[in-house]
Amino acid sequence: MAASLRSLQIRQTLILIVLTIIYLCFELGFNARLLDVVGGDVKPHDVEGVEFYGRSLSGIAAALVVLQLMWRRRLKNNGSGPSWKKIIFCCIATAAVVFGILKTTVTVLVETRDAQFRRLAFNTTLMQRSLVGGSLQLQGLVDDPTLFAKPEGKAFLALFPFLAVSVGHLDERMEPAKEQLINFNVRKIAGGAAGYYEKYQQAIGEVRDKWKLYSGMIPDDDAGLRQQQESAWSDYRQSLSRHGWQPESVPARRRAAVVNNVRKKVPVSANWHPADQISFRLAVKRRYASEAASKGLSIKGERIPPGLSFPAFVARPGIQAVLRDGPDGGDGSEASKGLRLPKGAVVQDAYASPAEFSRLFDQFAARQTAEKLVEYRASRNDFEVGGKYFDEGKEAARAAIVPPVALFFSLLGAIGHFSKLLYLIATVGLLVLAARRGEQAGADGQLSRRSAWIATGVLAGAFLGTWGIFSLSDNNVTKSELFRQMLDWNRQAADDSTRWQIAGKGLLANITHVVAVGQGYSYPVNEAIRIHVLQGVHYGYHPGQK
């Protein structure tokens, strides 16, 4: 009986090994994708999308541990309990609870940050974007222009905002370069002069549509025109229906009377046929265009006289105001802000050369830089709850906290389950070895106490050994003077700190180092698994899509 239980134990452990290997493949593939997402110019929606997969994998990891424990207990009880329904329920419940705990943990970490943290995070995310874009170089970091395309560089970018908030006198250090960094980022976000030219074309196209309406050149698909055409034709058919007629069935002797009646409202020709809908619609269009041209146009309080050419129309102060600030002066929405130009800027109806247009782009960048500079120089009070920049600060705090936390839990899950895999392999090996030696199996078919300690030692040794190797290892980034200095700043504790607080800061610095090293060295293997084993699974992140 004991030998049979040992056989079942071996088979059970082999199944757990297969499940753990499958999980590890998805976890390692996710780890590579996560580094791609957070190791650059972080977009909140990208992070939120990949976070879901990370929390799900962590839940599955915990569920696998519960499965192992409960299944082993069931084997000890000769299948009498717990039931498979209970095991499945507990696994699902564990996955859901872990998913919720991780989500809550991140939320609590973000919500409990103070205004000063939010303000510093807001500024450090600017530095991070500048590092990605190449407009900022940090003294003491690796002198390699391709650094941030490499795994260790991506890991540093993910950790940078979190590390930088602990830098002493960050504002004073950033201030000389802040305006330049903002200007660079404004230009980058706009897509350069080429991207801004597309926005200009859209704005000038909308003005041209207004001019066509103003000058009587109405396109056939104009919404107002279509509405009037449909309404006029419907009224005409309704007037005929009172006599029991349709446009095609008007008696010949009554056609002249019908045409005269129609011409009171719609300027059709005297020989118009009552069934000719095309000519009817063209007549409505002529009336609509004539009315539009006779009205002139009033924009931004200025009445524009009729008959202006398009360049003269664009040059009117009201039109210039619409182009600069949008139709309503800019209510904060993207569509209402126009080209976001300073008051003195003049928008032409066309530009003869890129050099001419670049001057307009420079004016746009100057205005945006001045507005953004106010935000980045805001005081701590502006980032308090209810403050002017509270939402922006909260989003920046999330961008600073989520990437390192996500990388840590992903790396921890990978190391933990790699160690568990070695433990399971050791368990099978010890069970098979005991059977070949003819050793007596226990009543429950489990390992002997000595073998169990050996397997547990493999588990602990693998985890601690891997963590220790990463702790003692370095890469180009962690060897740099800047990284070591930033870690030292993070280790610094206040004078009134307790031993636990000092130890906590030391542990946090160690975790940061392990993440920076571990992510850098493991990325090539993880990415190969994602591409070749998992067939390029994307984990909700599509970098080519805008």
Q: Spell out the residues 6+ positions from residue 195 whose beta carbon is closer than 8 angstroms to its own.
A: none
Residue-level pLDDT at 532:
94
Residue-level pLDDT at 328:
59
pTM for the full predicted model: 0.74
Burial label, 206 (beta-carbon count in 10 A; 0-12, 13-18, 19+): middle
Residue-level pLDDT at 234:
93
Where along the chain do its domains lie? 2-115+398-417+465-533, 118-192+372-383, 195-355
Q: For 52-175, list the strands marked E by DSSP.
A: none
Q: Spell out the residues 6+ positions from residue 168 whose beta carbon is closer than 8 angstroms to its own.
A: 489
Residue-level pLDDT at 56:
92
Residue-level pLDDT at 374:
92
Number of residues that this document lists for the chain: 546
Place of tokens 């106010």: 374
Cα gap 221→544, rounded to integer Å: 34
Residue-level pLDDT at 335:
52
Residue 406 CB: number of other CB atoms within 10 A? 25
Average pLDDT across each block of 10 residues of the chain; the chain has 546 residues. List them in order: 70 93 94 86 74 91 93 82 92 96 92 91 87 81 84 89 75 81 91 93 91 76 87 93 90 91 92 92 88 72 83 92 77 62 92 91 94 91 93 90 88 92 92 76 63 92 96 92 86 79 88 92 93 90 66
Helix (H, G, I), strand (E, B) or coil at 304: strand
Contacts 24+ apart (CB under 8 A), 320-323: 320/346, 320/347, 322/207, 323/203, 323/204, 323/207, 323/347
Helix (H, G, I), strand (E, B) or coil at 270: coil
Residue-level pLDDT at 9:
84
Cα gap 483→278, rounded to integer Å: 75
Q: SS3 for 221-249, per residue?
A: CCHHHHHHHHHHHHHHHHHHHCCCCCHHH
Residue-level pLDDT at 330:
46
Residue-level pLDDT at 112:
92
Written as six digits, the tokens of 279 are 């000519």
Q: Is the dihedral angle over the CA atoms 455, 457, 463, 466 positive or is it negative?
A: negative
